Amino acid sequence: MNCNQVQKNIIGYIDHSIPEVLSADIEKHIGSCQSCALLYKNISATYNSYGKVSEIEVNPFFYTRLEQKLKNKMSPETVVEPKLSWRLQPVISGVLIVCGISLGIFLGKNLSVKTIAQNKVNRTELVNTYASEFYLTGTSEESLNTFYTNE
């Protein structure tokens, strides 16, 4: 019996599902091999660690709660547990309001800047158009002066 053989049969050794001869050999090896003894201790304690947990008691109000759950299920008008979408409604509304306000602020800012900028451009273009029409821009004034002095 070597360490590898012990490891291959360790669960069988723990839950007594291997032949007695094999079990006796493993026991002998574990008695003289520290590393296998430690491995056996750990695996055995872990493998059997569920036992105590499964002794967990059933809630004393199990039936009362079940009865209530069943009653709620049977009578559709009594809705104790509202649907997720209903429960989320105030949150969704809040988020929508915040989004709406943010969008409003964002659009308001951008549009007003754009409009002012656009208006400025438009006004400058308009003034230039009028000015050139009535010879009031620098270039037109110059050409007017040139025209008169040349005359």
Partner 1 sequence: MRTTDAELIQRLINSDGSAFRELVELYQSLVFRTCYNLIRHSEDAEDIAQDVFIEVFESVHQFRNESKLSTWLYRIAINKSLNHIRKNKWKTMVRSLEQFFGGDKTNNLDVEDKNSHNSPETIDYRERSQVLQNAVNSLPENQRIAFTLNKFDELSYQEIAEVMELSLSSVESLIHRAKLNLQKKLINYYKN
Which parts of this chain interact with partner 1 (CB under 8 A)?
7-8, 10-12, 15, 17, 38-39, 41-43, 45-47, 49-50, 52-54, 56, 58-59, 62-63, 65-66, 69-70, 73
H-type alpha helices, 19-61: 20-32, 34-47, 50-53
| Per-residue tokens: 104 | 């409003």
Q: Interface with Zn ion by CB under 5 A: which residues?
A: 3, 33, 36
Interatomic CA distance for residues 111 and 68, integer angstroms: 57
Q: What are phi and psi of 15, to 5 degrees?
A: -100, 20
Amino acid at 142: E
CB 30, min distance to partner 1, A: 14
**Binding partner of residue 36 among Zn ion, partner 1, none, CB cut-off 5 to 8 Å per kind:** Zn ion
Q: Would you say 45 or 144 has its CB closer to partner 1? A: 45
CB 37, min distance to partner 1, A: 11
CB 21, min distance to partner 1, A: 19
First-residue to last-residue Cα distance in the chain: 127
> In this structure, are residues 23 and 13 in contact, taking their beta carbons and an 8 Å threshold?
yes
**Binding partner of residue 12 among Zn ion, partner 1, none, CB cut-off 5 to 8 Å per kind:** partner 1
